[in-house]
Amino acid sequence: MEIQNNRKELMVSKIKNGTVIDHIPAGRAFAVLNVLGIKGHEGFRIALVINVDSKKMGKKDIVKIEDKEISDTEANLITLIAPTATINIVREYEVIKKTKLEVPKVVKGILKCPNPYCITSNDVEAIPTFKTLAEKPLKMRCEYCETIIDENEVMSQILGANNK
């Protein structure tokens, strides 16, 4: 029993200040970091809990980032691959804000336009920008060439084609 408690504590121990992203679909914790642009060399202390039991979801992932409060804009990007996620901002071990996730209206610089003849695929300064046309099912349009992408395309770009 004691061992189990220690194990549980290790998995869910509180952070003093920062962000806790909970209820991420199992296996997508790395993708959440990817969406947030966190590569690991930024200096944040990060805890990843992957494939942990969840009453609500069966299995889930959790990401904890110490000393970084993610913005609403960053939080909304997470909806692209983890619409079930909940985001808590923590200060002095207390949750001071629960961020409500909304699909972002515009996504800039994260998704690539699949059209090889789009200017964003051919000019270093043209940043791919997608506007959300519909949330469920997700439908986004390239602001330059107007190519439409769907949830599958978004998922495969962020998660990687072999990791859907």
Partner 1 sequence: MKHIISAYNFSRDELEDIFALTDKYSKNLNDTKKILNGKTISVAFFEPSTRTYLSFQKAIINLGGDVIGFSGEESTSVAKGENLADTIRMLNNYSDGIVMRHKYDGASRFASEISDIPVINAGDGKHEHPTQAVIDIYTINKHFNTIDGLVFALLGDLKYARTVNSLLRILTRFRPKLVYLISPQLLRARKEILDELNYPIKEVENPFEVINEVDVLYVTRIQKERFVDEMEYEKIKGSYIVSLDLANKMKKDSIILHPLPRVNEIERRVDKTTKAKYFEQASYGVPVRMSILTKIYGE
> Can you give the binding site for partner 1, defined by CB under 8 A?
115, 117-126, 141-148
The tokens describing 29, both together, are 């914790």
3-state SS, 24-80, equals EECCCHHHHHHHCCCCCCCCCCEEEEEEEEECCCEEEEEEEEECCCCCHHHHHHHCC
Judged by beta carbon, residue 69 or residue 151, the one nearer partner 1 is 151
Give 27 or 114: the residue with its C-beta nearer to partner 1. 114
Least distance (Å) from partner 1 to the CB of residue 140? 11
Complex with partner 1: residue 93 or 117, whichever CB lies closer = 117
Residue 3 or 124 having the CB closest to partner 1: 124
Strands 58-66 and 18-25: antiparallel
How many Cβ atoms are within 10 Å of 79's Cβ, its own excluded? Answer: 18
CB of 142 to partner 1, least distance (A): 7
DSSP reduced 3-state for 161: coil
Cα distance between residue 153 and residue 88, in whole Å: 28
- For residue 129, the minimal CB distance to partner 1 (Å) is 10
Q: State in angstroms the smallest separation of the CB of 122 from partner 1.
A: 5
